[in-house]
Structure 1
């Protein structure tokens, strides 16, 4: 019986580890190897440009800047702002209210 409890505890630990790892995943993470700045740095730049709560984030290939950007939806009150940060330079590329057709 003790061996099975150890097995259950090990399995539970593995499940919690995988679940925690998924919390930190973001859309486009497979492109991160091409970025010069990481997601944490990009978040700080975006939140400095528009303070609030990040409700969505992704790394995507898109026209403008280096062609690789972190895109954030940041909510402050009733307004959601789209903030784009160049993933290679850290330059702010976009800081505008979210359009009528959100991604």
Structure 2
């Protein structure tokens, strides 16, 4: 069973190349292992364009980033991959989820 928690809500998420993606909205936590599997990122308009995700002032685009891609967490969440690498990982994860 998965549930969401907003402990680190609002922290900026930055890709390895220095590009800001947006802000952490929630954490996806497995209730059996208490492991954080994903962070939900509320994308900025620029990042939404890069990911091809719908965004407007009333509906911000969101993506789920696997925690295995998180390099460090402080005032910001720094990813260990660039935006291009993140797009590839998300596409691969989506493809494996559908099969």
TM-score clears 0.5? no
Normalising by structure 1, report the TM-score.
0.32
Greater RCO structure (CA 8 Å; 6+ sep): 2
Which structure shows the bigger proportion of residues in helix conformation?
A: 1
Larger Rg: 1
Structure with more of its chain in strand, by fraction: 2
